[in-house]
Amino acid sequence: MTATPSFLRHGPLEPISPVVLSVPHAGREYPLPLRAALRVPLAALRGLEDRHADTLGLQARRGETLFVAERARAWIDLNRAEHERDPRLDDGASSLGRPQSAKLRSGLGLVPRRVGNSGDIWSRRLSSEEVAERIRADYRPYHAAVDAALAAARVRFGVAVLLDIHSMPPLGDPATAPRLVLGDRFGKSSAARFIGRIEGVARAHGVAIGANTPYSGGHILERHGDPRRGVHAIQLEFDRSLYLDAALDQPGPGLAATVALLRAIIDAVADEALPVAIAAE
């Protein structure tokens, strides 16, 4: 369908850290078949982006493995399960026979049907074949690559931790509302000790923090986090006003401080993981 890679992998083949980074929702590539089928202005789809969350990841990483999705979330959402196909949009959904999640019912399935206040995205239904091709070409390779990186880190260090980097609109008054929300699926995708270390870093940086509300983590955490096997997965939701301009569109004056916060989180998580790795060796 498209000639360019659906994601970019940064970092050496042999991991140098137990921490793996993922940015699944910041893609800004809108393939021609998507643009040809829109019923809303292309700019409206920015509402689905984790705007410039990739900039945070790229500037914060040193040598860690980092995956950045290139395709826009409107094309396919890497943080949804394969079966979350919307019967109101996708001809291949009706035969799946599964109960619909709240996200899917609201139009935010594997291929999003709606965006914010702009309403329905698509001017036509999508065929089963074209969605299946997006799954084959874009969705499965991303998850396979993350799986492989976590497995390599687990083999080398005895433990692996995925930090899944997202952004969120402001949740309220910046003086009282959380500016960073941690998701671990209410303890299912990560050991509590990693969450504790991240909370300590956020406090040291003067950033108010929340846990699992309103974002507990999606399919990426469910799929890749398995603490019993030593593979942990945590979602980081950064308030966009921390690092974007007043329009929440371009990197702003808070970018450097937010990059420093993310870097400190990475270091703290690696430090928490390494005693286990040393013991395993």
For the residues 134-157, what does the mean pLDDT come to? 97
What are 31-79's pLDDT values in tens digits?
A: 999 999 999 999 999 999 999 999 999 999 999 999 999 999 999 999 9
Q: How confident is the model at residue 279 (pLDDT cuts 50, 70, 90)?
A: very low
For residue 222, is pLDDT > 80?
yes
What are 157-203's pLDDT values in tens digits?
A: 999 999 999 999 999 998 899 999 999 999 999 999 999 999 999 99
For the residues 230-238, what does the mean pLDDT come to? 98
What are 82-93's pLDDT values in tens digits?
A: 999 999 999 999
- C-alpha 109/C-alpha 246 separation (Å) is 29
* Per-residue 3-state assignment (H helix, E strand, C coil) for the chain: CCCCCCEEEECCCCCCCCEEEEECCCCCECCHHHHHCECCCHHHHHHHCCCCHHHHHHHHCCCCEEEEECECCCCCCCCCCCCCCCCCCECCCCCCCCCCCHHHHCCCCCCCCEEHHHEECECCCECHHHHHHHHHHHHHHHHHHHHHHHHHHHHHHCCEEEEEEEEECCCCCCCCCCCEEEECCCCCCCCHHHHHHHHHHHHHCCCCEEECCCCCCCHHHHHHCEHHHCEEEEEEEEEHHHCECCCCCCECCCHHHHHHHHHHHHHHHHHHHHHHHHHHC
The CATH number that domain 7-75+134-280 falls under is 3.40.630.40
Can you give the pLDDT at residue 144? Answer: 98
pLDDT mean across residues, the chain: 94
Can you give the pLDDT at residue 2? Answer: 53
Question: Taking the CB of residue 43, how many other CB atoms lie within 10 A of it?
Answer: 9
Q: ω before 214 within 30° of 0 (cis)?
A: yes
